[in-house]
Structure 1
Amino acid sequence: MSNISIITMENRRLYPAQVYNSEDKELINTIVSIDGIYDLLYRGQKILVISNQYDQQGNNLEIFYGQLEKEDIKCIFNISEEESNRELNSVMTLSEAARKWGLSDGSTIRKAIERGKFEKYEIKQAGDVWITTYSAMERVFGDIKNEEDAFIIYDDFLYYIFRHYNSDASFDYLKGEYLEKKIKENEEAYQYIKEVFTKALSAIRDNRNVIFKKKRNNKVMMVMCTEKELFHYVEYLPFRRMMSSKRCQQLLEDLRDV
């Protein structure tokens, strides 16, 4: 079984990734080494990847089957089964971590690594790129800078979205007044969901972070600093089975009108 993990520029996590030369139409020769993959990419060739796919929170997306080139990939690294259970689905590069924690650049984190501030399992070198996790950054650097000004979204809101999706899916089985009642409730739920994402978008435009947290222990799940990150998150709601494609398209259009 492959132990190769790929993080794309859209922050999708591909693991375990079966990697082939895009010219290998019969999928005969799996590329098993990181060096072999980089060799192809730096020669301007594409790789074909078949893999499970996850978002930043570790939620399953649809199976990934497609071609990638160097510009599509943030980093590639080997990951053990033990490490795959240690939040490496929420990894980020040092430059990303520095931006999210309000540090000048990744060099501050590199110095912390050199001084042994991180545990070995909290960091990993992927080619020329170093990666770490949200929990590791919190342990070493504390809360995200200016967190009191951030817009916080707790995981119970994500469960609320999921229930909204299930309500959408039940309409085909309802009739009459009960259907009308459910449609009204569903629309009210959508307006609340839209309101939360609209506030998140406004926060980003005010140069504030949007932070997703676990309500139980206040741990950071994800941090968004740009509109692009927020829109990517919304675009993938149907793949996470959290919203119907029709509602997601409506939400994207409504947010673009803000």
Structure 2
Amino acid sequence: MDKVKQTAAEAVLDITDGSTLAVGGFGLSGVPNVLIQALFTQGAGRLSVVSNNCGVDGAGLGRLLAAGRIARVTGSYVGENKEFARQYLGGELEVELIPQGTLAERLRAGGCGIPAFFTPAGVGTQVADGGLPWRYGTDGSVALASPAKEVREFDGLSCVLERGISTDFALVRAARGDRHGNLVFHSSARNFNPLAAMAGRITIAEVEELVEPGVLTPDEIHLPGVFVQRVVPLTADQAGDKQIEKRTVRS
């Protein structure tokens, strides 16, 4: 029951080339930076990543991306990552863009063993009809496009079939966790971390504060330990190293 690994390097050691990863984080909040850095050092490549966004230039998943270690991204937001946009438009990276709520539900479904579900989000668009560019050619043409999906009507409402997502591994960050893998997340870090954790067959959580079993009451646990296989406690410096995406101050 003790799932603690003393180092991030030990925790990510068996992630191999070509692995699929669900990675938590929302913008720069709740990103498992220590585990990502350990994976960067470990050297695995040709990774398929499922995450809301792909970090920013030089940080988070952006480091793996810039090093050419990510082959495919499934996410909702390109945002502040110029290298992500460059690789995608230049035909170096395959990208499946998904409505954010649908991505969240696909991760949850995969974690719950639900193979697919119907949702009205995306009906009447290329999300359902197909044709979204997944990969561009070097000449700017569409080399690979998304396929059409099944659309069915329920009580007069058209809905599109979306598949659940499960991955080989998941990397997440939590504010608190115990040795059994029970986790608590802080504020917006809770948006995608629990869902990513559910989707991973082997889920690795870095925790800012490690507590003993029984300290966390059932009512405050956001993700039960059944979804977590490894826990990495962070040092005080690692836990406090948090970026601000856009600093806004009064004049």
Q: What TM-score bracket applies, with the shorter chain setting the length? A: under 0.3
**Higher RCO (CA < 8 A, seq sep 6+):** 2
Higher share in strand: 2
If you compute each CA radius of gyration, which structure gives the higher value, 1 or 2? 1
Q: TM-score, normalised by structure 2?
A: 0.26
